[in-house]
C-alpha cells in the first residue's frame, strides 16, 4: 500500500505515518519544513514540502498513492489573532480544496481529519454522526470545521472516495492532557468550569487504527466520530491527573476566568461534548481502549510520580 500524509510532522501525522512505515508500506509525507521531515523520517519516506498559503498542491506526491490522510492543521491553541485565524483556515480548508482538485477522479481514498468541536457542546444533548450541524449559530472554529469537511467531501466522485473523521481529544503523552499536566505541575490540580462537562477522549492507538480502517474502506464514505464509547466528565479527568502527579485539587477556575486564559480553544475545555461513535460501532470497529481511566493513565504514564 502507498499512502500520503499531510501534516506529517504533527502529532497525528507522525503517528499514522510511522504506523505504516513499521509495516513496510510506502509512505509519502508532506509538511512545510523539509528539514523537520528529514529529521523525523530520514530516507524511509518520500518527502514533499508544501505550504497551501504559498502554492498549489504538488501533484507528484500522489503518484501511485492508494490513500491520502489530510491531517495538516495550524494548532488552535493560543490567542486567535487575524493571522492565526487565517492560518487555521488555510491549513485546513484551502488545503483540502487543493488536495481535492488534485485527487479528482483518481482511484484513491481521502481520509480527512475534523474535530468534535463542530458540535455545539450543549449540556444534556447527545451527538452522533446524524446530528444536524447546519442552521445553528456557529463560532469561528465551528464554521471553519464545517468548511473543512465540505471541502474534503467535495472531492468524492468517480473512483475517489472520502471519509471524514471527527476526532475527540486524542490521548497520548504528547497529546491530551499534556497542557493540563503542565498546569497542574505548576499550581496543583484545578477544576475548569464546574467540572461536569463531558470530555470526548480517544486513545491515540485507537485513532490510528480507525484511520487505517477508514483507508481500507471499513468506515465507508462520509462522517465518522472517533471518540471512546465511554466518556468522563472533566472532574474525573482532573482527579486522575492530580492522582498521577500526586497533586491536590486546589479549587476551580470559573468560566469567566478560564476563557481568557485558554484563548480561542476555550470551548474545547468548557463545553460538554456527549458524542457517540455510532457509525464505527455499527460497522464493526472495536476500540482497544474504551475506559476513560485506562486511556488517561496510558497518556499520563511518563508523568507519574514514583514512590
User: Rounded to whole angstroms, how far apart are CA atoms 105 and 126?
Assistant: 36
pLDDT at 138: 72
**3-state class (DSSP) for residue 198:** strand
Per-residue model confidence as pLDDT tens digits over 208-235:
999 999 999 999 999 999 999 999 999 9
Q: Check residue 251 and report its DSSP letter.
A: E
pLDDT at 260: 84
The residue ranges of the chain whose pLDDT is under 50 are: none
CA distance 197 to 122: 9
- Angle, helices 234-245 vs 292-300, to 10°: value is 40
Helices marked H in the chain: 11-22, 34-41, 82-89, 95-103, 140-153, 178-187, 204-215, 234-245, 255-262, 266-270, 278-282, 292-300
Sign, Cα dihedral of 84, 62, 162, 281: negative
Per-residue pLDDT tens over the stretch 68-108: 999 998 887 777 789 989 999 999 999 999 999 999 989 99
Which residues lie closer than 8 Å to 231 by C-beta, 6 or more apart? 198, 199, 200, 201, 273, 274, 275, 292
CA distance 152 to 142: 15
φ and ψ at residue 117, rounded to 5 degrees: -65, -10
Phi–psi pair at 88, nearest 5 degrees: -60, -45
- Cα separation, 59 vs 62, whole angstroms: 6
Can you give the C-alpha Rg of the chain in angstroms?
Answer: 19
Reading the block at residue 44, the C-alpha cell is: 524511509
pTM: 0.95
Q: What is the pLDDT of residue 135?
A: 52
Residue 136 is predicted with a pLDDT of 53
Go through the domains of the chain in sequence order and give each one's CATH number: 2-171+202-228+273-288 (3.40.50.720)
What pLDDT sits at residue 307?
55
**pLDDT at residue 134 in the model:** 66
Amino acid at each position: 500500500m502507498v499512502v500520503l500524509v499531510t501534516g506529517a510532522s504533527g502529532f497525528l501525522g507522525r503517528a499514522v505515518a510511522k504506523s505504516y512505515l513499521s509495516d513496510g508500506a510506502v509512505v509519502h509525507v508532506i509538511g512545510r519544513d523539509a528539514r523537520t521531515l528529514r529529521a523525523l523520517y530520514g530516507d524511509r519516506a518520500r518527502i514533499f514540502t508544501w505550504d497551501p498559503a504559498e502554492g498549489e498542491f504538488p501533484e507528484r506526491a500522489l503518484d501511485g498513492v492508494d490513500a491520502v490522510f489530510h491531517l495538516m492543521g495550524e494548532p488552535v491553541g493560543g490567542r486567535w489573532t487575524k493571522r492565526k485565524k487565517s492560518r487555521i483556515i488555510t491549513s485546513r480548508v484551502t488545503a483540502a480544496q487543493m488536495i481535492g482538485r488534485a485527487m479528482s477522479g483518481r482511484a484513491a481514498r481521502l481520509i480527512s481529519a475534523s474535530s468534535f468541536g463542530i458540535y455545539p457542546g450543549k449540556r444534556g444533548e447527545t451527538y452522533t454522526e446524524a446530528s444536524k450541524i447546519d442552521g445553528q449559530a456557529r463560532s469561528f472554529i465551528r464554521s471553519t470545521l464545517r468548511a473543512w469537511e465540505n471541502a474534503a467531501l467535495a472531492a468524492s466522485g468517480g473512483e475517489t472516495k472520502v471519509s471524514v473523521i471527527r476526532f475527540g481529544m486524542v490521548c497520548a503523552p504528547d497529546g491530551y492532557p499534556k497542557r493540563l499536566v503542565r498546569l497542574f505541575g505548576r499550581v496543583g490540580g484545578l477544576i475548569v468550569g464546574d467540572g461536569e462537562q463531558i470530555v470526548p477522549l480517544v486513545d491515540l492507538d485507537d485513532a490510528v487504527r480507525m484511520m487505517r480502517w477508514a483507508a481500507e474502506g471499513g468506515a465507508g464514505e462520509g462522517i465518522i466520530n472517533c471518540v471512546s464509547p465511554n466518556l468522563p466528565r472533566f472532574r474525573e479527568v482532573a482527579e486522575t491527573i492530580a492522582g498521577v502527579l500526586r497533586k491536590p485539587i486546589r479549587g476551580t477556575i470559573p468560566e469567566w476566568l478560564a476563557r481568557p486564559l485558554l484563548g480561542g480553544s476555550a470551548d474545547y475545555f468548557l463545553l460538554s461534548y456527549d458524542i457517540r461513535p455510532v457509525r464505527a460501532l455499527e460497522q464493526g470497529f472495536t476500540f482497544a481502549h474504551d475506559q476513560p481511566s485506562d486511556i488517561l493513565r496510558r497518556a499520563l504514564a511518563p508523568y507519574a510520580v514514583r514512590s
